[in-house]
Copies of this chain bind each other. A is one copy, B any other.
């Protein structure tokens, strides 16, 4: 087995975020579940966009955000995800490449336009997402380059990939290729409603294929259908060797073989928008793991990157994460 040339390869739904402020009454009036991600069709996307406040567009996509964070910490990251050959597709492709992530998935030349996620940020900084999957749903097995997968220490997959059927197949191809090459497979459960939709498949995956799991408290509880975080934690210990379990302002709990580590959240002076918090936690954790750091360092890098991204609008880091980590003594 050769040494990996890439730290982390992310595979996910390639999405441009459309971010605007909204109040709780807007969410209620439009049937939007606070804090969650809902899938919407073209008609609903047009309707909801028409009702939204003036917005800004920033590249997003959960695994894509995570790969940008890995690159920002100084890691080598790559990304597989599908856009169309339209203006928003050009925006997505520009932004991820400009952030230093290797990205070469061919753009779709027909079919649905590039995916958009309409994100309402409420005054409490919570984000509620309505996603039109568009072209991202056409990611297929042909887009997964097994040589690329084999070259990455960790292949990181979104639970969201289970929503479009061809992407799910791509997911399995990548996971199998990673293990065939002796590499690690990481999964994020993405969203508690996503867990509801694919609980059986996720449980099977975790028991058989996942080396590193990311989940927040709601997702873990949903996975094991329990109201108790600790019950979920104990259930997971039997199946998954490494996990980063995030608990918002209460930090994270890390499963590391037989060990359990509790990591504090980094303080945030000005909480603006929680979009991307979980994605960037995964950036720090995965970078640490790919570079053979221990659980405390992995968790602390995750806490630091998450704190940066929630201190401004949008799901990708704006500060120099590597410099921040070096200043904080987490990187040499």
Contact = CB atoms under 8 A, between A and B. Distances in A.
A314 B54 CA distance: 12
Nearest to A99: B54
Contacts of A53: 98
B87 A316 contact: no
A278 interface: no
A53 B96 CA distance: 10
Interface string A56-69: 11110000000010
A57 B114 CA distance: 15
A89 to B, nearest CB: 9
A311 B53 CA distance: 20
Contacts of A95: 54-55
Contact of A91 (B57, B94, B113, B114): B57
A53 B316 CA distance: 12
B59 A54 contact: yes
Given A53-B98, A54-B68, A55-B95, 20 more contacts: A49-B94, A50-B94, A52-B94, A52-B98, A54-B94, A54-B95, A54-B96, A54-B98, A54-B316, A55-B98, A56-B56, A56-B57, A56-B314, A57-B57, A57-B58, A57-B91, A86-B86, A87-B87, A87-B113, A87-B114
Contacts of A94: 49-50, 52, 54-55
> What copy number does this chain have within its complex?
2
A15 interface: no
Contact of A87 (B54, B58, B59, B88): B88
A117 to B, nearest CB: 14
A56 B315 CA distance: 11
Nearest to A19: B56
A279 to B, nearest CB: 15
Contacts of A56: 56-58, 314
A49 B86 CA distance: 15
Nearest to A89: B87
Return the 8 tightest CB-CB contacts between A and B, nearest first: A57-B57, A87-B87, A54-B95, A56-B58, A54-B98, A54-B99, A87-B88, A56-B56
Contacts of A54: 59, 68, 94-96, 98-99, 316
A185 to B, nearest CB: 28
Contacts of A96: 54
A316 B54 CA distance: 9
A16 to B, nearest CB: 9
Interface in A59-84: 59, 68
A87 B84 CA distance: 12
16 contacts: A49-B94, A52-B94, A53-B98, A54-B68, A54-B95, A55-B95, A55-B98, A56-B56, A56-B57, A56-B58, A56-B314, A57-B57, A86-B87, A87-B88, A87-B113, A87-B114
Interface string A286-313: 0000000000000000000000000000
